[in-house]
Structure formats: C-alpha cells, structure tokens
Amino acid sequence: MASATITDRGRVGHLTLDVLSDDILLYIFDFYRHEVEYNSAVRQWSWCHWRLLVNVCQRWRYIIFAWPNHLNVQIDCRSGMAIETALDVWPALPISIRAIFEDDDPDGDDIFAALKHRERITEVDFSGLLGPQLESCVALMQETFPILRTLSLECNEETTLVISDTFLGGCAPRLRNVKLCYISFPTLPKLLLSASRLVELHLEEIPKTGYISPDAMATCLAMLTRLQSISISSEFWSPLPQNQTNQHPLPMSRAVLPSLTKFIFGGVSGEYLDDLMARIHLPLLNHLHLDFFRQPTLGVPKLPQIVHRIEAFKPPFDGEVHVYDDSIDITFFSSVGHLYLAFLSAEIDQLSWLTRIYPQLLPLVSQIDYLEISDHDAQDDQDPAPWLEFLRPFSAVRTLWVYDENSLNQIVRVLGEPTDERAAEVLPVLDTILWFDEPNDVIRMFPLVQRLVDARNPVVVHVR
C-alpha cells in the first residue's frame, strides 16, 4: 500500500500521514472541498477533484468512498460521455445527471440508462434539452427518486412541458433545490409538501397552464420551514376572478416562513403578489426583488403595506433611480434590507409614466434621505416639467448623487430657477449634491451648477 508522507523540515526524515485518524483526514478532505468550491470559477466540486484524492492511496480511497455524501462525492453523468462505462468503473456512488443532447445525438441513450439508477441519483439538470428530449426524460421519472436533492427542468417559449402529479412518484423527501422554467406543473404544491428540506425554489416564466393560486402557494410554502430563497415569474399569473375562487376571505393569521431571506417576483401586475404576501409572514426577509413585465396596470397597490410588515425594511432609506429607454429601476436600501423594483414600460416618456404610479410608492419614496439618480436616456432639450413632478415626492432627500451629465443638467434646470415657486417646493431639505463626472465635463458644466448653488443656498456641490 502506498503511504502518503510529509517532510519534517526541522529534523531529518519523514512523518507519515498514517498517524492521522480517519476523522481528521475526513475533515481535511472536506476543507479541501470547500476551498475548491470557494476558489473555483464555477463554484463547483466535481469528480475531477475527488479523483485526485482517491488515487493517492488505498486508505484515502476507502475513507472517501465510505463518506460520499459528507464529501459530496458523486459520478457526473453528462450527455455525450460513456455513462455506462463510468458507472461500471466506480463503486455505487451517488449520481449527478446533466444532459445537453446534441442534434446528432437525439436519442440520449446514455442519459436514459443513467435514469434507471434512480435510487442513486442526487441531481438532475435537464435545462439544456429540447422539448421532445425533455419530455422523454421526464417520462422516465414517474417513480420516486429517494435521494434526489437538485432538480432543474427548462423548456423555452416555443415548447411548454406539462408535468403530471405522478412525477417523482409524488414524493421528494430529500429535495433541496428546484428550478422550473417554462414548465407547467400545476400540482407542484402537492409534491413540495413532501420536500421538507427544500432550500431554494425557482419557478420562472411559468405558463398559464401551470397556474398555482396564491392560497395553494401559501399553504405549500408554509410547510417549507427551511426555505431560504424563492423566485416566481409569469406573464400570466394573477388572482382568479372572484366567481372562480373559493370566495373565502384572506386568513386572519398568516403562514410563517421562518428561514426565507430572499424573495423574487416577476409578473404583469402586482395583484398576485399582493394576494400571496397577505397570506405569509417573512420575519427574516431582507431582499425583495420585484420585476413587472410590459406595462403594469398599476404596479403594486399594496406595496407600502407589504414593506411595512417586513422587519428589515424600516425607514429612512437610501435610494437609487435608473431610467432607461424601456424601463425604470428603483432600489431602496435600509440598514439591513434591499428592495428592488423594475418596471418595464413601452412609454416614450418614462418619467411621466412613473409619476402616475407615485401614489403607490409615495409612502416609500417620501422616506428616502439619500438618493442616487441616473437617466440614461435624458436629452439636453428635454422638457423639465416631468423632472419637476418626478422629484417632487422625494421630500426627505438631503443628499443627491447624480451619475451623468444629462441628469445633472435636468436637475439644475429644475432646481436652479429662482422664480419658479413650484421648483422651491421640490427637494425642500436638500443640502448636498454629489456629482460624478469627468474633469473636462466638470469645467464645462460649472457655470450651470453655480446657478443652482446660488438659487438653493446653502446647497453644497461635491465633485467626484
């Protein structure tokens, strides 16, 4: 048996690693795994790493194969490789399947062969398959996969897959991560009720046929006490009309998700979000990310109430506003929380559109004391009136950070007009402007900025 040694540089001779116990070696191997995951570009520990260890000596091989779950040792089965050969060479280790079939390999026989070892499969990633290929693989997954931890299924806009309630035998006790994209799985809550270890749940671009009501979603989430992150996005989901629901009032007590820290939602309006958030309590939530596709009807009518119930989102806030040609991004930062809003709008004048949804945002924007602004689509000859209305609700802002020259130009035109009574009401407590620009632009813009300083004394402008 080969014996691994280390040199004792303080004395002549060698010290064998055999003096270390199995537990200590296992700890060292695990430390090495974490170092690989931390420093690797893909943050992944794969069999190319643990194979180096098992080839050192028989003892190391024995220890690693005796604790495959502790060290996350598994056989990576990828389409295009000789999977059956790999399964014959190695012991009965856990299996990770990642399939991306090529056009010249439409059958995927190796992947289908690996799926037969369902009692050993810990990870299934079919995010790179075409519709018919994915359908064939899912058809082989109608029985229980007892140690499956990660599941990723993805179609595209052209091919939507509908999954039945017999998928995984209706039970997934070891699941920790689930990602579905363009997948219709209306009975998913039933499966997740058995997934008490779930940590991450991502439901992206879910079609209309995959609709899950806010009530069913809240009931399902309430059982996932270890869930830390969830994302839900669909262009079609909204609460069903009243005459199609169970017509029960919202519950007096809300379901508690004790571990959830990150919530991401995407939709065409906030009605579904309003209904869902009214049913759940998120005591540890500190990251709320909301995307609204196309033109939302009126955004999120109950957003202030939602934010008020979240402990991490207490005013005052720092804020960022970024205006693009087809969207507006607004970010609120509390001392421990992060609220991000993205509105995709087809309107030409984004600022005018934003002012129409201000009644919903006023309780939030009126408590921002540090504001960063960037209008990536601003024009020099733009009418300053929309900017006047855009800035008006930020009544508590004391420090304003401007990222680009065009935005600064518009702000100066609005705030630097001493004869306009309306301008005097905008940013009434502003005392500092931070201006980030190139030196030559600073020199060129200085006379205009000086006009603002003169008009809004004692405002101070700092250039960076």
- Whether 294 shows a pLDDT value over 70: the answer reads no
pLDDT tens-digit series, residues 327-363:
888 999 998 999 998 887 666 567 777 777 777 788 8
Give yes or no for a contact between 4 and 16, defined as CB atoms under 8 angstroms apart: yes
Average pLDDT, the chain: 80
User: What is the token pair recorded at 239?
Assistant: 């609460």
Instruction: Evaluate if residue 99 carries a pLDDT over 60.
Output: yes
Contact 342, 350 (CB under 8 A): no
Q: What are phi and psi of 403, to 5 degrees?
A: -90, -25
The string of pLDDT tens digits covering residues 25-55 is 888 888 888 777 776 655 566 656 777 787 7
Q: What is the mean pLDDT of residues 121-133?
A: 84
Q: Is the pLDDT of residue 419 over 80?
A: no
Residues contacting residue 385 through CB under 8 Å, at least 6 positions apart? none
| pLDDT given for residue 188 in this prediction | 94
Lowest mean pLDDT: which of 47-51, 187-191, 240-244?
Answer: 240-244
pLDDT at residue 58 in the model:
85
How far is it, in rounded angstroms, from Cα 373 to Cα 397? Answer: 12
- Residue 243: pLDDT band with limits 50, 70, 90: very low
Residue 203 has pLDDT above 60, yes or no: yes
Give dist(CA 278, CA 282) in Å, integer: 11
What's the first-to-final CA gap in the chain, in angstroms?
A: 66
List domains and CATH numbers for the chain: 1-73 (no CATH), 74-237 (3.80.10)
| 357-401 pLDDT, tens digit each | 777 788 888 999 999 988 766 666 667 778 888 888 899 999 999
Whether the pLDDT of residue 87 is over 70: the answer is: yes
Residue 245 banded pLDDT, cuts 50, 70, 90 = very low
Statement: residue 246 has pLDDT above 50: no
pTM comes to 0.82
